[in-house]
Chains A and B, each alone.
Chain A
Amino acid sequence: MFDGLHIGLSALQTQKKSIETTGHNIANANNEDYSRQKAIQTTKQPNLLPGSNFQMGSGVKVADIERIQDEFINQQVREESQEAGYWDQIQQGMERIEYIFNEPSDSGLQSAFDSFWNSLQDLNTNPSDTATRAAVKNQGMVLTKAFRNINEQMTDYKRSLNSDVDKTVNEINSIAERISNYNKQITTALASNNKPNDLLDKREALYNELNQLVTVKGSTDDVGNLNITVDGKKLVSKFDTNTLKTQQNGTYEDEIVVDLNGKEVKVNPQGGGLKGIMDVRDTEIPTYLDKVDEMADSLKEQFNKKHSNGFDLNGNTGNDFFRINSSYDRASRGIEVHPDIKADDGINKIAAGNFSEDPNVVTGEITDSSNIKTDRYYNVKISDNSGNFDYEIVDSEGNHVYSDTNVPEGTELKFTNFNLTLNGTGETNINFNKSVGNGNNASALAETINQDQVLNGATITDNYQALISTVGVNAQRADQMKNSQQDLVKQLGNIKESVSGVSLDEEMANMIKYQQGYNAAAKLITKTDEMLQTLMGMIR
């Protein structure tokens, strides 16, 4: 008789627990980290009816509160999050780098090159004019400032990425710490046969967050610990964590180390946002800075070579126009207009003149200035002979002076008071007086900017355009990768939500179901009670 009561009671308790589980689901409907739970109802241990050979059911109980989730999908989401985190950082970095270069615009490096070229062309027209010379100096300063600007902004950004690395490492450490705490709580609960579903949700949420920051490998052991390694080094091991530290390496970048058995070992993130930040800092920025340095070096070399071959308003050769201050580590930071040019009267030192009408063909230098005849000029004709030169020199009257065949490029001819260097094929005149209206060097100098192919087989400005193109292509790719990864993560997230998410309609229906069950169980108890009363009433 009392079995009926027990059965009814078990039903009441079970339906109540089921409704509470439903209520828990409804309460957490908007909790992102929540996996819906289901109370699993199962029959209680049946009783053997004495004096018979069949079993009587004894009611229902909640066997388990199951956490509905698909571990495979979860792992996929985590893996794609690593990629998404990585490309997000790369995209942000490239966006900033594009912003620094600021092309196309009329205030970037390209525009500075153009204006400098303009000033040199003006110098060819007006070599002795003060204002024209001042413009060359000023545009030269604008150009070097543009180089330094790019370098400074990139370097500042690189330095700021160090603090981003630090911040991320701190976040990782904090998450690891909290995961290890949950490990303790979860293993304790599991040991006493409790299913700590909500704790599992929380630990998983942290683990997902960790995956966005850095690529890790995690595995759950038999007692319920989530053990995590990063780059093969232990990060979370049962209840303990290994704290990641940052330290500066030789080139002022923060690198990550961890203490492993008393020794400090370097940690190289294999993916995730942290790797993205470090790739921008250690690969992208240096690559582009190297290219800019290359251009600055080439500009200084080629320009100064021609400049020192020409003569200035004082009749002097051997002046430099650019200088790279070697106390800086990069040419693009150290490049400047030479202090001699910037000084008072420095603009007189700009070498607009050249003995040769075309320095690309032949250049000359005076070796004995006391005896040099400045009223003579020589016509030099150089032709190609399978890569070497044939040349002929005649004087202003047309008399033959000297000729030879099959000499290599760059051959230096030594005459009594001067030397001639053979630079390229063509025909030109050369004479050694130093008139102030000589602008032959100015046009040759202009050519170093955008006609002479002196760097990687192309002009300096060609190289710059190629660099901008590379930056653009890389930025575009980062953008596309970030977007496609985010789409992928979203899709996988939807699948995960489809498995683990709470549907209010479902929960409502379940609520009705359990409520009805509860009502029926209550009715059962009432009826059983009535039967008991009847039984009691029978005995007076």
Chain B
Amino acid sequence: MRITDNMMVGNMLENLRNNKEKLNKLNQQLSSGKQFNEPSDDPIKVTTSMDFDTKINNYEQYQKDVNNAKSFLQTTENALGDSGKVLQRANELAIYSANDTLNSEDRKSMAEEIKQLRNELISIGNSKLGQDYIFSGQATNQKPLEVNTTYDSTATNPPDNQYVNYKGDHNRILRKISDDDKMKVNLNADNAFKDNIETLNNMYEDLKNGESGEKIASYTTKLQDGMNENTSMRAEVGAKINRLDLIDNRIDENLLNTKRLKSKNEDVDLAKVVTDLKMSENVYQASLSSASRIIQPSLVDFLK
């Protein structure tokens, strides 16, 4: 084929341009650490990366939600633990009073203590986490247990014989802890505390009215029922906390895995890029050297 000078120069420039482009791309990869910048660089990898980004975002959010749910349950568990102690103490007093040698001084101080225990239980029932009441169902702005204004110690029928009224609702608080799972995290004071409060209140009234030691002692049945129920509720809450721990660990693993996969998808293999870069540099230098020789002497230089 007939070769002209323009062809040689043109081809040389074209090759230089191509080599430089290759060099540039490798440099970009090395400095950014990423295999691609634009979707056109590798459309499938880019959408995979977007998917991973969202998954990582969601895992981290769910971890936050799981930890919030755990706090709620832990506060609940602590409250149940405290109420267990309250009932325990009341029970001790009840057993002690089976001893009929209680005098009126003893009765007065026991009554006072039972009153305090009753009020303590009400206060536990009105526990808060942050701004929210945790035993009020979904009515988290509403104090669950309020002293009944129409309470009459002589009344025999509700509502007047009830010392406290439950003002919350009976709804379940459901927390979304994964794409497919919701967990109920709350107990309400109506189920968990009200009966025990009324029991303590009645015990207090009986003590005030000077009832017999036997009568006082008979409260152990109700109190022990209350303690058992309390323990079983506490166990359920504990089991939920354990489950959330397991979920938390699983999310940790998933996070680690996904981050690893994302890195594998996106990040350059440094060794490979550096090697390729070195090679490209060599090729570029060779083409530069060859280019310089294109500006050859032609026949013009040999004619006088």
Q: Identify the A interface with B (CB < 8 A).
A: 29-30, 32, 94-95, 98-99, 101, 103-104, 110-111, 113-114, 117-118, 121-122, 124-126, 128-129, 353, 357-358, 374-375, 377, 396, 429, 431, 433, 435-440, 443, 446, 450-451, 461, 465-466, 468-469, 471-473, 475-476, 478-479, 490, 493-495, 497-499, 501-505, 508-509, 512
A363 to B103, CA, bound (A): 62
Q: Which of B43, B44, B65 has the most CB of A within 10 A?
A: B43
Q: Which of B98-137 contact A (CB under 8 A)?
A: 131-132, 136-137
Contacting residues, chain A, for B173 (C-beta < 8 A): 437, 439
Q: Are A450 and B54 in contact (CB under 8 A)?
A: yes
Q: Which of B4, B173, B182 has the most CB of A within 10 A?
A: B4
A319 to B10, CA, bound (A): 68
Q: Tell me the smallest distance from the CB of A456 to a CB of chain B, in Å.
A: 16
Interface presence of B252 (CB below 8 A):
no
Contacting residues, chain A, for B141 (C-beta < 8 A): 128, 436-437
Q: Are A433 and B169 in contact (CB under 8 A)?
A: yes
Q: Are A377 and B138 in contact (CB under 8 A)?
A: no
Known contacts: A377-B171, A475-B39. The answer to whether A437 contacts B179 by CB under 8 A is no
Q: Which residue of B lies closest to A102 (CB)?
A: B38
- Residue from B40, B64, B299 in contact with A505 in the complex, judged by beta carbons closer than 8 Å: B299
Q: Produce 1/0 per residue, B27-68, CB < 8 A to A.
A: 000000000001111111011011101100110011011001
Q: Are A125 and B140 in contact (CB under 8 A)?
A: no
Which A-B residue pairs are the 10 nearest by beta carbons?
A472-B39, A472-B43, A437-B140, A475-B40, A435-B138, A501-B4, A508-B299, A443-B176, A435-B139, A437-B138
Q: Which residue of B lies closest to A114 (CB)?
A: B57
Q: Are B39 and A437 in contact (CB under 8 A)?
A: no
Known contacts: A103-B39, A429-B172. The answer to whether A110 contacts B53 by CB under 8 A is yes
Q: Are B11 and A433 in contact (CB under 8 A)?
A: no
A495 to B41, CA, bound (A): 33
Contacting residues, chain A, for B156 (C-beta < 8 A): none
- Residue from A104, A110, A121 in contact with B65 in the complex, judged by beta carbons closer than 8 Å: A121
Q: Are B6 and A471 in contact (CB under 8 A)?
A: no
Contacting residues, chain A, for B298 (C-beta < 8 A): 504-505, 508
Contacting residues, chain B, for A503 (C-beta < 8 A): 2-5
Q: Are A498 and B43 in contact (CB under 8 A)?
A: no
A490 to B300, CA, bound (A): 28
Interface presence of B1 (CB below 8 A):
yes
- Residue from A451, A475, A508 in contact with B179 in the complex, judged by beta carbons closer than 8 Å: A451
Q: Are A377 and B170 in contact (CB under 8 A)?
A: yes
Q: Which of B39, B57, B169, B175 has the most CB of A within 10 A?
A: B39
Known contacts: A437-B141, A440-B174. The answer to whether A468 contacts B46 by CB under 8 A is yes
Q: Are A502 and B39 in contact (CB under 8 A)?
A: no
Q: Tell me the smallest distance from the CB of A173 to a CB of chain B, in Å.
A: 31
Q: Are A504 and B299 in contact (CB under 8 A)?
A: yes
A358 to B180, CA, bound (A): 12
Known contacts: A431-B171, A436-B141, A468-B46. The answer to whether A504 contacts B61 by CB under 8 A is no
Contacting residues, chain B, for A472 (C-beta < 8 A): 38-43, 46-47
Contacting residues, chain B, for A375 (C-beta < 8 A): 169-170
A450 to B169, CA, bound (A): 32
Contacting residues, chain B, for A471 (C-beta < 8 A): 39-40
Contacting residues, chain A, for B64 (C-beta < 8 A): 121-122
A469 to B42, CA, bound (A): 9
- Residue from A431, A439, A465, A490 in contact with B51 in the complex, judged by beta carbons closer than 8 Å: A465
Q: Which of B38, B58, B132, B169 has the most CB of A within 10 A?
A: B38
A429 to B138, CA, bound (A): 14
A122 to B176, CA, bound (A): 10
Beyond the given A357-B182, A497-B7, A502-B5, please list 7 additional residue pairs across the A-B interface where CB-CB is below 8 A: A118-B57, A124-B176, A433-B169, A436-B138, A443-B176, A475-B38, A504-B299
